[in-house]
A = this chain, B = another copy of it.
Amino acid sequence: MSFAIKVKKPVNLGDIPTNSNGGLTEDVARLRTSKLGEELAELQSLMYAAGTHSLLVILQARDTGGKDGTIRNLSRNMNVQSVHVKSFKVPTTEEAGHDFLWRAHPHAPVLGSVSIFNRSYYEDVIVVRVHDLVPKHIWKARFEQINAFESLLDASNTIILKLCLHISKDEQAERLKARELDDTKAWKLSVGDWEERALWDEYTKAYSDALSECSPKHARWHVVPADHKWFRDLAVTDAIVKTLRPYRDDWEAVLKAMGEKARGELDAFHATEG
């Protein structure tokens, strides 16, 4: 199972399925998610202890795409002490008075830790473009600026994983209606949601370009079928685990070396006592 998009191959979001279930029933999928969750916890803990890498997870989705639910699911398996979740809303006046990456950069993860971006600077090439908030030459230049920024993070050992939670137009209608009927979720709904929905195709185009322009090898986008929430959770957990797994040996080696050094220092200490 991999939903990573191919490097340097343009994608059209409209062609990618939203309702895959991997041939699994919900029960089986949840069991696998839980099993992978344990591995995720272990990998996170290893990364924290080794302190040689950090992890940045970027979540993007249309309205009701499931960003909040995804974060809730991840938090079940991650140690929140070393996870920082940052949500990006409409820029403040101070934020708008700087380059578009200014408000994101301070939230890049420190070595050993995880940052999860709930929306991100990708809105500056998506919503900004759909609503024509800046001229074309400005948002077009941002693809390269984003790539340079992510290269900078990559060069300082930040592992980058970008997840686009992908739902169908019908599924969105269901979820918007459900929100209207559910008093506990009605606050999440605004008139704007239905207006944004009318721009579905414009968003598809903007997403497709962003995914295509910003998917270098070290920071690939994964388009996660998200119509089934239980499958989305499995696919997201799987993607993170598969991204971290290749580092396991290195992190264990770092810890082993640390342990030997610590033991060596302890021996030296006891030797001076004798």
What residues of chain B lie closer than 8 Å to A247, measured between beta carbons? Answer: none
Q: Which parts of A146-168 form the interface with B (CB within 8 Å)?
A: 148-149, 151-153, 155-156, 158
Closest approach, in angstroms, between the C-beta of A23 and any C-beta of chain B? Answer: 41
Place the interface of chain A in its size category. Answer: 20 to 34
The 9 A-B residue pairs with the shortest CB-CB distance, nearest first, are A148-B148, A99-B156, A97-B110, A97-B111, A105-B105, A99-B152, A145-B152, A106-B106, A99-B153
User: Footprint of B on A, CB under 8 Å?
Assistant: 51, 54, 94, 97-102, 105-106, 108, 110-112, 138, 141, 145, 148-149, 151-153, 155-156, 158
A108/B112 in contact, CB under 8 A: no
Q: Looking at the complex, which one of B99, B101, B110 makes contact with A158 (CB distance below 8 Å)?
A: B99
What residues of chain B lie closer than 8 Å to A145, measured between beta carbons? Answer: 148, 151-152, 155
A153 to B98: give the CA distance in the assembly, Å: 8
What residues of chain B lie closer than 8 Å to A141, measured between beta carbons? Answer: 155
What residues of chain B lie closer than 8 Å to A101, measured between beta carbons? Answer: 105, 152
Closest approach, in angstroms, between the C-beta of A94 and any C-beta of chain B? Answer: 6
Copies of this protein, total: 2
Q: List 6 A-B contacts (CB under 8 A).
A: A94-B110, A97-B111, A97-B112, A99-B156, A100-B156, A138-B155
A100 to B145: give the CA distance in the assembly, Å: 17
Q: Looking at the complex, which one of B97, B105, B152, B153 makes contact with A106 (CB distance below 8 Å)?
A: B105
A152/B156 in contact, CB under 8 A: no
Closest approach, in angstroms, between the C-beta of A175 and any C-beta of chain B? Answer: 36
A34 to B102: give the CA distance in the assembly, Å: 35
Closest approach, in angstroms, between the C-beta of A254 and any C-beta of chain B? Answer: 15
What residues of chain B lie closer than 8 Å to A155, measured between beta carbons? Answer: 99, 138, 141, 145
Closest approach, in angstroms, between the C-beta of A158 and any C-beta of chain B? Answer: 7
A102/B97 in contact, CB under 8 A: no
A107 to B99: give the CA distance in the assembly, Å: 12
What residues of chain B lie closer than 8 Å to A151, measured between beta carbons? Answer: 145, 148
Least CB separation from A137: chain B residue = B155
Q: Looking at the complex, which one of B98, B106, B108 makes contact with A156 (CB distance below 8 Å)?
A: B98
What residues of chain B lie closer than 8 Å to A102, measured between beta carbons? Answer: 105-106, 108
Closest approach, in angstroms, between the C-beta of A58 and any C-beta of chain B? Answer: 16
What residues of chain B lie closer than 8 Å to A106, measured between beta carbons? Answer: 102, 105-106
Closest approach, in angstroms, between the C-beta of A132 and any C-beta of chain B? Answer: 18
Least CB separation from A144: chain B residue = B148
